[in-house]
Amino acid sequence: MKTGSRMKEPERARKYSIRRAMPGDLPELKRMRVALQDLLAGRDPRVWRLSQELTDRLEDFYATIMEKDENRIFVADAPAGRPVAMLLVRVIDNPNMDPRPFGRIDDAWVDPEWREQGVMTGLTRAAAQFLADRRVAMVMLDWANNNPPSGTCWQKLGFEPLMTMGFASPTEILSRKE
């Protein structure tokens, strides 16, 4: 071993806590949702983005979601109490769908420095408990094909791809030869 060099100590798992989002978290929820959009758009500019109007009023949007008993936004706090991750879960009771009701997860984000530390597992378990308490039999979510770490994460948590959605421009369809 060279003089002055040290072996790197194994990094300890950082502590975090999961809780229901509160009105004081709204600026952080907006920050994380915009970061999620930027990540996905950076991987493929065709990804649908929030309108500027919704982006501007995102805090009001999340405040409205938080008011409804069939919705939850969970956050993971760093030790200092700052949210470093989020997950939105909703119970959807659509009389035209089976199973009824079903759950939907959206806006799942973990700050890069907190990834691969079990944070999304904690958030997903909180969402699963919320849904189980409401006798929801199935939960769905979407992940982008161009974001392999996301797909890997969700599959490790028990989600299985069931459907593939295709997207095309009408002009691209019309320009194709048979």
Return d(Cα 25, Cα 59) in angstroms, integer. 9
User: Taking 70 as the threshold, does the pLDDT of residue 125 lie above it?
Assistant: yes
pLDDT band for position 97 (cuts 50, 70, 90) = confident
Q: What is the pLDDT of residue 13?
A: 59
72 neighbors 127 (Cβ within 8 angstroms): yes
94 touches 35 (CB < 8 A): no
Residue 107 within a domain: yes
- Considering only 77-91, 104-118, 162-176, which range has the smallest mean pLDDT? 162-176
Q: What is the CATH number of the domain that holds 81?
A: 3.40.630.30
By three-state DSSP, how is residue 140 classified? strand
Give the 3-state secondary structure of residue 117: coil
Q: How far apart are CA 64 and CA 61, in angstroms?
A: 5
Question: What is the mean pLDDT of the segment spanning 93-107?
Answer: 91
Element (H, E) at 72: strand 71-77
Residue 3: inside a domain, yes or no?
no
* Average pLDDT of the chain, as a whole number: 89
Pick 146 or 30 by higher pLDDT.
Answer: 30
Question: How many independent structural domains does the chain possess?
Answer: 1
Q: What confidence tens digit (pLDDT) does each residue in 58-71 have?
A: 999 999 999 999 99
Q: Does residue 5 form part of some domain?
A: no
pLDDT at 99: 82
Domain that holds residue 35: 17-175
Helices (H), 103-169: 119-133, 148-156
Distance CA 84, CA 62 (A): 16
So what's the pLDDT on residue 2? 36
Residue 80, pLDDT score: 86
CB 39 within 8 A of CB 143: no
Is 2 domain-assigned? no
Is residue 122 situated within a structural domain?
A: yes
